[in-house]
Amino acid sequence: MTDKKLIYLDNNATTAVAPEVFEAMRPYFCEQYGNPGSIHAFGGSIMSKIEHAREQVAALIGADRKDRHGKFTEVIFTSCGTESDNTAINSALRACPKKKKVIMSAVEHPAVFTLGKDLEKRGYPVSYVPVDSSGCLDMERYEEMVDTETAIVSIMWANNETGNIYPVEKCAEIAHRYGALFHTDAVQAIGKLPCNMADSQIDMLSLSGHKLHAPKGVGALYVRRGIRFRPNQIGGHQERGRRAGTENVASIIALGKAAELALHSIKEENTRIKMLRDRLETGLCANIPKAKILGDIENRLPNTTLVGFEAIEGESILMMMDRLGICASSGSACTTGSLEPSHVLRAMGVPYTIAHGAIRFSLSIYNTQEEIDFVIQEMPAIIAWLRNMSPFWKK
Ligand code: PLP
């Protein structure tokens, strides 16, 4: 690492742990390291901290139902968003083995999409709802797909690449008409969009700590009370038998604190961050010929923009940005390393010459206007330099 300033615009890949979150989790490594399942007070007393974290997560997603002991049991702690997604879908198939059909969108994150492909190999019929060129769901096709054989529908709340927000409440209502469960991968939505599960039709919802300023390696799955549930991980009785394995105490406490902070920063996400994102888009489009915003411009996460720079490679753009200390991503961070455009851009039918040069900028509450202005100032020269060498570039 050099001493150049880092401009981190890759917050859909992961976020910095908030200093308050780090402070909250710090005592649970070397001081309060007991096992919450222990009988002695040293360990056992930690259980109340986990319950408090559960309450904080429940507050962020508006899950207000308690059990008869006053516990917010609808929230199950997991190791990540991927585990939550897998657990939800596998649970639905196991809880109701007579129904085999699974429906998901064609633009799900690999945490859901790859599971879909794997289920297909194991003989489950999986249907993928197509999207249009802006990445919007084909709701008519969706309605045609759902039937009484459908065990579960899983549609993401917000897309990690384009930032597109999907009509999950409407999708849940349609799923319920046919007796199917509805799950949403809300990993990118939670903390950026208001959420009120108490007033929702969604049966299960996944979230991940490291997308909202908690550490990597912790997530949660919301399971509406009364939904038949089958655990993915079998063993001890942790999480009321729904997710075995000694609790990742420090990270769970951290997720609770991050949830509390996120509840307060949603307004900032939707005003200051959105204003910076819009400033970035306007600046790039005004100064770079044929820069194209991809996705549903009207209905996106406030922090995300995916910009297609025609006739050049995203990887080359990222490398030149990296030299200036600017971090972004080409499509999904999880799919970089492969030069194929992501399955999301392919599902949208984005022409290859644009898809290859698509760069995702994703902001957080830690970004400043000065950083955005630096990016607006530097990007035109990078794009012009690469296009100069490109055989595909026509002015
Ligand atoms: N779902 C979405 C929409 C994501 O963006 C991600 C991560 O990028 C995941 C799921 C996976 O979450 P995790 O990294 O916590 O497994």
What 3-state DSSP class applies to 139?
Answer: helix
Q: How much is the pLDDT for 66?
A: 85
* CATH number of the domain where residue 213 is located: 3.40.640.10
One domain, residues 275 and 184? no
pLDDT given at position 333: 42
Ligand 1 atom closest to Cα of residue 83: 16
Give me the pLDDT at residue 198, please: 96
Q: What is the pLDDT confidence band of residue 340, given thresholds at 50, 70 and 90?
A: confident
Task: Give residue 81 CA to ligand 1 midpoint distance, Å.
Answer: 5
For ligand 1, atom 5, the nearest C-alpha belongs to: 160
Is 156 a pocket residue for ligand 1 (Cβ < 6 Å)?
A: yes
Could you tell me the end-to-end alpha-carbon distance of the chain, in angstroms, rounded to an integer? Answer: 37
Which residue is associated with the tokens 């991940």?
208
Mean confidence (pLDDT) of the chain:
95
Same domain, yes or no, for 185 and 123? Answer: yes
Q: Is 82 in the pocket of ligand 1 (CB under 6 A)?
A: yes
- Distances in Å between the Cα of 26 and the Cα atoms of 29, 249, 251 are 6, 11, 10
Query: How far is it, in rounded angstroms, from Cα 141 to Cα 106?
Result: 12
What is the total count of domains within the chain?
2
**pLDDT at residue number 3:** 63
CB atoms within 10 A of CB 170: 14
* Ligand 1 pocket, residue 190 CB under 6 Å: no
Q: Is 209 in the pocket of ligand 1 (CB under 6 A)?
A: no
- pLDDT for 39 equals 96
Among 109, 115, 218, residue to substitute to test ligand 1 (most atoms within 8 Å of Cβ)? 109
- The atom number, within ligand 1, closest to the CA of 79 reads 15
Residue that terminates a domain, selected from 234, 261, 288: 261
| Best of 89, 160, 248 for a ligand 1 pocket test (most atoms within 8 Å of beta carbon) | 160
Residue 74 to residue 224: CA distance in whole angstroms: 6
Separation CA 164–CA 162 (nearest Å) = 5
Q: For residue 382, what pLDDT is reported?
A: 98
Domain co-membership, 38 together with 174: yes
For residues 392 and 257, give the distance between their C-alpha atoms in angstroms, rounded to a whole number. Answer: 49
Classify residue 394: in a domain, yes or no.
no
Residue 374 has pLDDT above 70, yes or no: yes
In this structure, the answer to whether residues 280 and 253 fall within a common structural domain is no
Instruction: Indicate whether 395 belongs to any domain.
Output: no
Same domain, 45 and 132: yes
253 with 269, same domain? no
- At residue 67, the pLDDT reads 85
313 and 342 share one domain: yes
Same domain, 112 and 228: yes
Structure tokens given for 298: 């009207």
Model confidence at 332, pLDDT cuts 50, 70, 90, reads very low
Domain co-membership, 232 together with 300: no
Question: pLDDT class for 68, splitting at 50, 70, 90?
Answer: confident
Burial of 342 by CB count in 10 Å (0-12 exposed, 13-18 middle, 19+ buried)? buried
Strand 358-362 versus strand 304-309 pairing type: antiparallel
- Banded model confidence at residue 337, pLDDT cuts 50, 70, 90: low
User: Average pLDDT in the 175-180 region?
Assistant: 98
Question: pLDDT band at residue 331, thresholds of 50, 70 and 90?
Answer: low
If you average pLDDT over residues 129-148, what whole number do you get?
A: 98
Same domain, 254 and 146: yes
Residue 1 lies in a domain: no
pLDDT at 84 over 50: yes
Measured CA angle at 154 (ends 255, 233), to 5 deg: 55
215 lines ligand 1 (CB under 6 A): no
Answer yes or no: do 254 and 273 share one domain. no
Residues of the chain above pLDDT 90, percent: 91
pLDDT tens digits, one per residue of 141-161 = 999 999 999 999 999 999 999
Q: What are residue 104's DSSP bridge partners?
A: 128, 154
Asked if residue 336 has its Cβ within 6 Å of ligand 1, the reply is no
pLDDT at 64: 82
- Give me the pLDDT at residue 211, please: 98
- Write out the residue range of the structural domain in which residue 285 sits: 7-14+265-389
Mean pLDDT along residues 80-107: 97
**277 within some domain:** yes
Place of tokens 């992501």: 342
Q: According to the model, what pLDDT value does residue 203 have?
A: 98
Is there a domain that residue 54 lies in? yes
Cα(208) to centroid(ligand 1), Å: 7
Where a domain ends, among 219, 237, 261?
261
Assess whether 327 carries a catalytic annotation: no
Whether the pLDDT of residue 242 is over 90: the answer is: yes
Q: How much is the pLDDT for 336?
A: 47
Residue where a domain terminates, one of 243, 261, 279: 261
Check whether 193 has a pLDDT greater than 80: yes
Task: Over range 371-395, report the average pLDDT.
Answer: 94
pLDDT in tens, 113-125: 999 999 999 999 9
- Check if 219 has its Cβ closer than 6 Å to any atom of ligand 1: yes
pLDDT category of residue 166 using cuts at 50, 70 and 90: very high
Q: Alpha carbon of 134 to those of 81, 168, 296, 344: distances in Å?
A: 25, 17, 5, 11
- The CATH number that applies at residue 320 is 3.90.1150.10
Q: Tokens for 35? A: 């096992």
Ligand 1 pocket, 73 CB below 6 A? no
Give 385 Cα–ligand 1 centroid separation in angstroms. 34
140 and 212 share one domain? yes
Residue 108 CA, closest ligand 1 atom number = 3
Instruction: Specify the residue for token string 């507050």.
Output: 59
